[in-house]
Amino acid sequence: MHTDFGYFEEDSMGKPYDVKLLRRLFPFTKPYRMLLFGSIVLVVLITLLDLALPYVTKIAIDRYIVPAKYTVSTDAGEQQGEKKRFYIVDLEDPEIKTVVKKYPRLFQTEGSVSRIEFGELNKIESRDLSLLRSNDIRGIVTAAAVFLILIFASFCFNFLQQMIMEYTGQQIMHDLRLSLFQHIQSLSISFFTKNPVGRLVTRVTNDVQNMHELFTSVISFVFKDLFLLTGIAAVLMSISWRLALVSFAVVPVVLFASFMFAGKARNVFRTLRIKIAEINTTLSETISGMKVIQLFGMETENFKRFKRINHENYMAGMRQIKIFGIFMPFIEFLGVLALAIVILYGGSGVLKESISLGALVAFISYVRMFFRPIRDIAEKYNILQNAMASAERIFLILDTHEKLPQPESPSDAMLPKLEGIAEVAMENVRFEYIPGEAVLKGVSFKVQTGEILAVVGPTGSGKTTMINLIIRFYDPLSGRVLINGTDIRSYPPSLFRNRIAMVMQDPFLFSGTVRDNICQGNRQVSDEEMAEILKASNCRSVVDKMPDGLDTVLSEGGLAMSSGERQLISIARAMARNPDLIILDEATSYIDSETEEKIQNALVNLMQTRTAIVVAHRLTTARNADGIIVMNRGRIIETGTHDQLMAHQGFYHRLNLIQQVKAEA
Amino acid sequence: MKSLRLVIPYFRDRWIEVALGVLFLIIVDFLQLFIPRIIKWVVDELTAFQIDLPRLWMYALYMLGIGLLIGVFRFGWRHFLIGLSRNVEEGIRNRLFSHIQTLSASYFDKTKTGDLMAHATNDIQHIRMAMGMGIVALTDAIVLGASAIGFMLYINVKLTLYALIPMPLIVLGARFFSKKMHRYYGEVQGEFSELTEAVRERFAGIRIIKAYTRKATELSFFAGKSKAYVQSNMRLVRITGSFFPMMIFFTNLSLAIIIYFGGQQAVRATITPGDFAAFIIYLRLIAWPMMALGWVTNLIQRGRASLDRVNTIIETEPEIIEPASPATPLETFKRITFEDISFSYNGNLRSVLNNIRIEIQAGEILGIIGPPGSGKTTLLNLLPRLYDVSGGRILIDAVDIRKMRISDLRRLISNVPQEPFLFAGTIRDNITLADPLIQEEALMEAVEKAALYETIHSFPDGFDTLVGERGIILSGGQKQRIALARAFLNDAPILILDDPISQVDVETGAGIIRSISQMAGHRTIFIVSHRLSAVRFADRIISMVDGRIVGSGSHSELLETNRYYSKTYHLQELEEELDLHAY
C-alpha cells in the first residue's frame, strides 16, 4: 500500500570515511583505556604462550627423546660422511654402569663415558633402558609438567582476556546506547515527525549491538595480528631478506583488494542496516495498526509489502555472500601465490646454492604462518565495514542537531528565574510546519493566573499547533511566546515545562502501574492527595474496576483500557503534577458529556490559583472559561469572555438556559 | 528441540544445495592437505638435487592450480551454505510476520511491540548465524577432526587412545556448558527485547516525556534496562569465556599427555622418535577443529535460544479461530442478534459485558451511548470477532458468527475505530487501502461524505500528501475523517462507527452525521457517540452503564425514560446551538 516504506526515506550516504568514524568512536573507548590496554597485553601474552608451546615439545624431543649428543662416525669401512647418532651415558652413576656392563657388545666405553648407537637402544631390556635413561624420563616428566602449567596459564589468560573484552565492549556499547538515547530524547519534535519510531529503535538497539564484535574482538586481535605479523616479518627478513622481499610482493595486492572489497562490502552493509530498520518500522506499524489491518482484511497486501522489504534484505545478504565469497578465497589464493613464489624463487636459489635448503624449509613454514594474520586482518577489516555501516547511522543521528536553540548563558545563575507562571501570552505568532504553508498567521492572546482560556474552532484550524508552541515543541517563525512577559526561548525548557501539565489528544500511557502513570514517578503523592486527584479526574471508578487498583500494571500503553479511560488517567496525571498552567488539548473527546462536566467543575475549583488553556470542539468546555478564542484557518476570528461573546452574538438568554441545566445537575 | 521443525524444511527443500555445499567444503579441506604435500615433494627433490627449474615451475603451477580450485570451491560452499542461512532468515521472518498477522487482538493487548521487533531482527539474525557459519564450522570440525584422528590411529593406536583421554571431558564439558549457554542466551535475548521495548515506548511517547520534563527519569530508566542487558551478557560471558579457552585447554591437554606418555615411550624406545614427532604434528591439526567445535557450540546454542523464542510466538494459536466447516458466505442478511452476550478480557473475572440482548434488522441504525468504560467499544469489537464472546452468541440471520469464515464475516463489515489508525503513506493510500480498483468517483464521493474534500484540497500535494508515521502530520480530526472516508468507501452492508466525530468540530460533525443518516436503509449501522446529535436519528438507541443495557428506545422514548440520556441531551443541545451560532 506504500510506494515506499515511510514518509521520509533514509538518505543514502556518500563515501565512507572510516578514519573519521574511528576517531569519533575513540572517545567512547577512552574511559576503558586501561582495560583495553590490559587486554592487548593479555593477547600478546597468550600469543607468546602459544608460540612457547611448540618450543616445549621441541626441547622434549631435542634434549630428552633424541639427545643431540651424537658424534660423527669416522670408522673405516663405513660409507664416508655418514652421520651416526650415538647415545652417550655417564658411567659415574653406579646403576648406569651395571646396565652398561650387562650389554658389553652394544656400548663403546671411553674413560668415564660410554656411547651406544641410537638405533641399538631398543635392544636393551626395557627395565634397564628405563634405568639408563632415567634422566631423560625425568626430563620428559618435567617438560610435560611445564607444558601443563603453560596451557593452564594460557587458559587463565584467555578467560581473563575474554572477560575483560566483553566487559569493556559491553560498557562501551552501554555508553554509546545511553548517549544516543539521550541525544535522541533531546531532539526536537520535528525530528520525530520525520523519523519513524521503528527506525530510531533500530539505531539504539540493533545498530549498537552490531558493533559488538568491533569492541570485543577486533580491537585486541588486530593488535595480536600486527604483533605476529611484524615478528614473523622480522624472522623472514633475518633468514633471507631477498626472499622475504619477494614474498612480500603480494602484500600490496592484499591491501588493494581489501580496499576495493571494503567499499563494496560497505555498500551492502549499509543496505542491510537500512533494511533492518525498515523491517522494524513495518513491524511496528503493523502491530499498532493490527486492528485496522484485520478488520479491512489487508493481511495479504500488508504481508506482500513486508515480504518485499524482507526480500530486499535477503538480496543484500546474498550480495554480501557473493562479495565475501570472492574476497576471502582471493586473499587465501594470494597466500598460495606467495608460497608458490617462494618455492620457485627459493628453489632456484637452492639450485644456484645461493640459499641453503634448511633456510628455505624454515622460510616456507614461516611464510605459511605469515598469511594467517594477514587473512585475519583482511577479514576483520570487513567486519569493521559492517560495524562502520552501523556507526555511520549512529553518528548521523548524533550529528543531527535538530534542537531548539537553548538560551545561551555563561552560568546557571544568569538564567532567568521562574517562580511561577503568572501570565502566558502570544504575540503575533506565525508558524509553519512546511515552508510556505502557514498554520498560524499572527496569533496573539494573553491569559493570567486564575483564568481559564478556551480555544475553539474547526479541525485543522491550528489549535494543537498553538499548544505545541506554548510548550515549545516548536519555535514560532516570527512573533513571540511569553511567560510572565519573557520570551520562553530565554528559559531552559525544563524550567517552564516543570510548571505545565498537558493532556494531549492521543492519551499516551506508559507500561507500568496506574500509580506510576499518574504520579510520573518523580513526585510523592500522599494517599489523600491521590484520592482527591482520582475524584477530580473521575478516575475512581476506572481504578476500582482494575484487579489491583492503583497498582495494576498496564501492558503496553494501557492498550486493554478503553480510550475514554486512558483519557481520564491522563487527566489525573496532569492534575497530579500540581501545575501552574494546565493545558487540555481535546482532553475529553472520548468522554461522555456527564463525566466531562464533572471534570470541568473539578477543574474550575482546581484552577482558582492557576492558569488553564483548554482546547475543545465542544462548547461545554468554553462555558466555564474566562476567555474564549475562536480560531479558523490559523487566525483568531473572535475573542472575548463568554459573556462578551454571547452578548455580541445575542446569545445571553441561551447562557441563562445553560446555567439552568447546570443548576439541575 | 521441537523448535527445530522451523528450520528442517529448508534442509529438505534445498538438500541438493546443502549437500553440494558440504561436499565443496570437504573438497576444500582435502585440497588444503595437498599443499603441504607439494612442499614436501619440492623439499625432498631439492634435498636429492633431483629437480631443475622447469620442474620447479611445474610445482609452483600445481600449487597455483590447487589454490585456484580451493578458491572456486570455497566460493561454492559460501554461496550454498551461507546462502541457505539467508534463505532461512528470510523464510522464518516471513513466517513470523504472517503468523503475527493472524493473531487476535487479545494477543496484542499483552504483547509488547518492541519484544516482537527484537524477535524479527535480533533473534532471527542469531538463527541465521547458527545456520550458516554453524554448519560450516561443524562440517570443518568433523572432517578435519576425523581425518586427523585417522592419521593418528594409522601411526599408533595406543598413543591415539592416550591422546583421546580428554575426549570424555570435552563431551561432558560441552554438554554442561551448552545447557548453561542456552539458558543464558535466552536471558540475554530476553533482556534485549526489554531494551528494545523500553526504547520504543519512550520514543513513541516522546511528547509526554518532553511535556512532563521526564528526560532525566527516562534516561535513568533506560540506563537501568541497558545495565541489565550488560549484566546478562556478563553472566553469559562467564560461560562462553571459559568454554572457548577450555576447548583449547583440553586439546592442549592431549598434547601434554602425549609428551608425558609418548615421550617416555620414545625414551624407552617403545615407539620411534619419528612417530612421536609426527603424532604431535597431527595433534596440532586437531586444535582447529576443536576450536571450531567450541565456536559451533556457541553459535548453535545462541541460535537455539533464539529459535525457541521465535517458535514460542509461532506456536501461539490465534484465539479467534476459523470454524472447521465454515458456513456459506452471506451476501445479504435480515437481522443481527446479540443473544445474552457476556464478555471478559483474558479470563479476567470482572466481566465487561453482561446479558446484552440486541436484535437489529438489516438497514437499521443502532446508537450506543454511555460513560467511559461502560463497554461500548468492547461490544462493537465482538461483531467483527476481534474478540470472541465469553457467553451467549452473535447471530447474523441464524448463523453464529463463529461458524462463518473470518474473512467472510469481516467482508460484511466496515469499521471506524475510536482512535483512527493511519499508515505511513499517502492520503489516497490510506483511504483506498491501496486498492487499485477503486474508481475515482467512488473515492470522491466517500471523501465528500466524510467532509474531507476541502481539507485535502488545502494540502499542496492533495491526495498524494504523505501523512507520516501514524498520520503524524495530521490533526486528530483530519485523521478521523480519513478513517471515515475509508469506511464509507468500503461498501460493506454493516457499518461500525465508534465515536466517529469525537475529534471534529460540531459543524463538520453535523455534516458527517447527515451523510451517515442518509445511509439508513442501505446499511446496518452501529454508532457509538458521546454526542447525542450523532445518535438521535438512530432507529434505536441503547444506553449502557457498567456493561449492561440500562435503557433502550428511540430518541424521544429515551428522552422521557432515561435520565442520563435526557440530561446529556439538554447539555449538548444548548451547546451545539450555541456552537453553530458562534461561527
- State how far residue B91 is from chain A, nearest Cα, in angstroms: 9
Integer angstrom CA distances of residue B444 from B304, B441, B448, B467: 53, 5, 6, 19
pLDDT tens-digit readout, A570-596: 889 888 888 899 998 888 888 887 888
Mean pLDDT for the stretch of residues A637-657: 60
Burial class for B436, CB neighbours closer than 10 Å (0-12, 13-18, 19+): exposed
- State how far residue A77 is from chain B, nearest Cα, in angstroms: 24
Four-way CATH pick for B80-315: 3.40.50.300, 3.30.420.40, 1.10.287.130, 1.20.1560.10: 1.20.1560.10
Mean pLDDT for the stretch of residues B297-317: 91
Per-residue cell: A453: 482560556
Mean pLDDT for the stretch of residues B430-452: 87
Q: What is the ipTM of this complex?
A: 0.87
CA gap A557, A569 in Å, rounded: 11
Q: Does A661 sit within 8 Å of B574, measured CB to CB?
A: yes
Q: Which residues have C-beta within 8 Å of that of residue A491, sequence separation ≥ 6?
A: A407, A415, A416, A418, A483
Q: Could you tell me if A313 lies within 8 Å of chain B, comparing CB atoms?
A: yes
Top-level CATH class of B420-491?
A: alpha beta
Q: Does A658 sit within 8 Å of B260, measured CB to CB?
A: no
Average model confidence (pLDDT) across chain A: 82
Q: What is the DSSP letter of A641?
A: -
Q: How confident is the model at residue B171 (pLDDT cuts 50, 70, 90)?
A: confident
Write down the pLDDT at residue A17.
66
Domains B333-412+493-583 and B420-491 share a fold: yes
Q: How confident is the model at residue A70 (pLDDT cuts 50, 70, 90)?
A: low
Nearest to B246 among A155, A436, A630 (CB): A155
CB contacts of A456 in chain B (<8 Å) are: 505, 579, 582
- State how far residue B83 is from chain A, nearest Cα, in angstroms: 6
More confident of the two residues B143 and A651: B143
Q: Does B415 sit within 8 Å of A591, measured CB to CB?
A: no
CB contacts of B102 in chain A (<8 Å) are: 299
Backbone torsion region of residue A512, taken as left when φ is above 0, otherwise alpha when ψ lies between -120 and 50, otherwise beta: left
Query: Which of B72, B83, B71 minimizes the C-alpha distance to B16?
Result: B83
Percent with pLDDT over 70 in chain A? 88
Q: Residues of A585-611 as b/e, b for ≥16 C-beta within 10 angstroms?
A: bbbbbbbbbbbbbbbbebbeebbeebb
pLDDT tens-digit readout, B237-291: 999 988 888 888 988 898 899 889 888 888 888 888 878 888 887 787 777 788 8
Query: Which of A197, A406, A160 minimizes the C-alpha distance to A284?
Result: A197
Q: How confident is the model at residue B582 (pLDDT cuts 50, 70, 90)?
A: very low
Write down the pLDDT at residue A3.
33
Query: Which of B190, B186, B118 minimizes the C-alpha distance to A201?
Result: B118
Pick among A141, A619, A657 to test the B interface (most B CBs inside 10 A): A619
Handedness of CA B362, B366, B372, B374 (dihedral sign): negative
- State how far residue B508 is from chain A, nearest Cα, in angstroms: 8
- State how far residue B61 is from chain A, nearest Cα, in angstroms: 7
Mean pLDDT for the stretch of residues A213-229: 84
Query: Of A411-420, A473-482, A503-512, which has the strongest mean pLDDT?
Result: A473-482
Q: How confident is the model at residue A205 (pLDDT cuts 50, 70, 90)?
A: very high
Write down the pLDDT at residue A177.
94
Longest dimension (CA), chain B: 121
pLDDT at B217 over 90: no
Write down the pLDDT at residue A360.
85
CA gap B173, B250 in Å, rounded: 10
pLDDT tens-digit readout, A439-458: 899 999 999 888 888 887 77
CB neighbours of residue B464 within 10 Å:
14
CA gap B492, A598 in Å, rounded: 39
Q: Could you tell me if A456 lies within 8 Å of chain B, comparing CB atoms?
A: yes
Q: Which residues have C-beta within 8 Å of that of residue B332, sequence separation ≥ 6?
A: B362, B493
CA gap B158, B344 in Å, rounded: 73
- State how far residue B214 is from chain A, nearest Cα, in angstroms: 8
Q: Which CATH code fits B333-412+493-583?
A: 3.40.50.300
pLDDT tens-digit readout, B114-155: 899 999 999 999 999 998 888 888 888 888 888 888 888 888
Among A157-171, B244-258, B279-293, B459-473, the minimum mean pLDDT is found in: B279-293
Write down the pLDDT at residue A1.
33
Mean pLDDT for the stretch of residues B540-563: 89
Write down the pLDDT at residue A414.
62
Percent with pLDDT over 90 in chain B? 37
Write down the pLDDT at residue A11.
58
Write down the pLDDT at residue A2.
34
Q: Which CATH superfamily, name and number, covers A18-61+140-398?
A: ABC transporter type 1, transmembrane domain (1.20.1560.10)
CB contacts of A310 in chain B (<8 Å) are: 90, 93-94, 97
CB contacts of A506 in chain B (<8 Å) are: 419, 476
pLDDT at A285 over 60: yes
Query: Which of B505, B485, B499 minimizes the C-alpha distance to A460?
Result: B505
Question: What is the DSSP code string of A48-91?
Answer: HHHHHHHHHHHHIIIIIIS-S-------TTSPTT----EEEEET
CB neighbours of residue A571 within 10 Å:
27
pLDDT tens-digit readout, A355-378: 888 888 888 888 888 888 888 888
Average model confidence (pLDDT) across chain B: 87
Q: How confident is the model at residue A413 (pLDDT cuts 50, 70, 90)?
A: low
Write down the pLDDT at residue B490.
85
Mean pLDDT for the stretch of residues B100-105: 88
Per-residue cell: B2: 521441537
pLDDT at B4 over 90: no
Q: Could you tell me if A577 lies within 8 Å of chain B, comparing CB atoms?
A: yes
Q: Does A555 sit within 8 Å of B237, measured CB to CB?
A: no
CA gap A579, A499 in Å, rounded: 5
Residues 328-347 on A with a CB inside 8 Å of B are 328-330, 332-333, 335-337, 339-341, 343-344, 347
- According to DSSP H, which parts of B404-554 are helical? 406-411, 427-432, 440-449, 453-458, 476-489, 506-518
CB neighbours of residue B18 within 10 Å:
17
The amino acid sitting at B46 is L
CB contacts of B68 in chain A (<8 Å) are: 333
Chain A residue closest in CA terms to B502: A589
- State how far residue A189 is from chain B, nearest Cα, in angstroms: 7
- State how far residue B251 is from chain A, nearest Cα, in angstroms: 10
Write down the pLDDT at residue A6.
38
Write down the pLDDT at residue A558.
57
Q: Does A2 sit within 8 Å of B372, measured CB to CB?
A: no
Chain A residue closest in CA terms to B370: A592
Burial class for A415, CB neighbours closer than 10 Å (0-12, 13-18, 19+): middle
Q: How confident is the model at residue A490 (pLDDT cuts 50, 70, 90)?
A: confident
CB B554 within 8 A of CB B540: yes
Percent with pLDDT over 90 in chain A? 21
Write down the pLDDT at residue B182.
92
pLDDT at A606 over 80: no
More confident of the two residues B392 and A643: B392
Q: Does B217 sit within 8 Å of A460, measured CB to CB?
A: no
Q: Which CATH code fits A423-664?
A: 3.40.50.300
Pick among B27, B268, B453, B474 to test the A interface (most A CBs inside 10 A): B268
How many H helices and E strands in chain B? 22, 10
More confident of the two residues B8 and B277: B8
Nearest to A460 among B209, B423, B455 (CB): B455
Write down the pLDDT at residue A521.
62
Per-residue cell: A566: 486512558
Q: Does B429 sit within 8 Å of A1, measured CB to CB?
A: yes
Q: Does A505 sit within 8 Å of B417, measured CB to CB?
A: no
Q: Does B218 sit within 8 Å of A209, measured CB to CB?
A: no
Write down the pLDDT at residue B307.
93
Per-residue cell: A186: 533531546
Q: Does A332 sit within 8 Å of B71, measured CB to CB?
A: yes
CB contacts of B234 in chain A (<8 Å) are: 163, 166-167, 170
The continuous run of DSSP H or E covering A232 comes out as: helix A219-239
- State how far residue B151 is from chain A, nearest Cα, in angstroms: 20
Q: How confident is the model at residue A513 (pLDDT cuts 50, 70, 90)?
A: confident
Chain B residue closest in CA terms to A458: B505
Query: Of A56-70, A91-105, B331-345, which has the strongest mean pLDDT?
Result: B331-345
Nearest to A522 among B78, B217, B263 (CB): B217
Write down the pLDDT at residue B38.
87
CB B435 within 8 A of CB B441: no
CB contacts of B51 in chain A (<8 Å) are: 347, 351
Domain layout of chain A by residue ranges: 18-61+140-398, 423-664
CB B203 within 8 A of CB A184: yes
CB A102 within 8 A of CB A83: no
CB neighbours of residue A504 within 10 Å:
24
Query: Which of B120, B76, B494, B29 minimizes the C-alpha distance to B306?
Result: B120
Q: Does A60 sit within 8 Å of B259, measured CB to CB?
A: yes
Integer angstrom CA distances of residue A557 from A330, A566, B202, B213: 53, 9, 11, 19
Strand B335-343 and strand B353-361: pairing?
A: antiparallel
Write down the pLDDT at residue A662.
41
pLDDT at B566 over 50: yes
- State how far residue B139 is from chain A, nearest Cα, in angstroms: 18
Pick among B191, B203, B257, B562 to test the A interface (most A CBs inside 10 A): B203
Q: Does A147 sit within 8 Å of B574, measured CB to CB?
A: no
Nearest to B252 among A53, A314, A494 (CB): A53
Nearest to A619 among B373, B421, B582 (CB): B582
Q: Provide the β-strand partners of residue A177.
A: none
Q: How confident is the model at residue A260 (pLDDT cuts 50, 70, 90)?
A: confident
More confident of the two residues A32 and A456: A32
Write down the pLDDT at residue B85.
92
Chain B residue closest in CA terms to A311: B90
Q: Which residues have C-beta within 8 Å of that of residue B418, sequence separation ≥ 6?
A: A562, A563, A590, B377, B498, B499, B502, B528
Per-residue cell: A4: 515506499
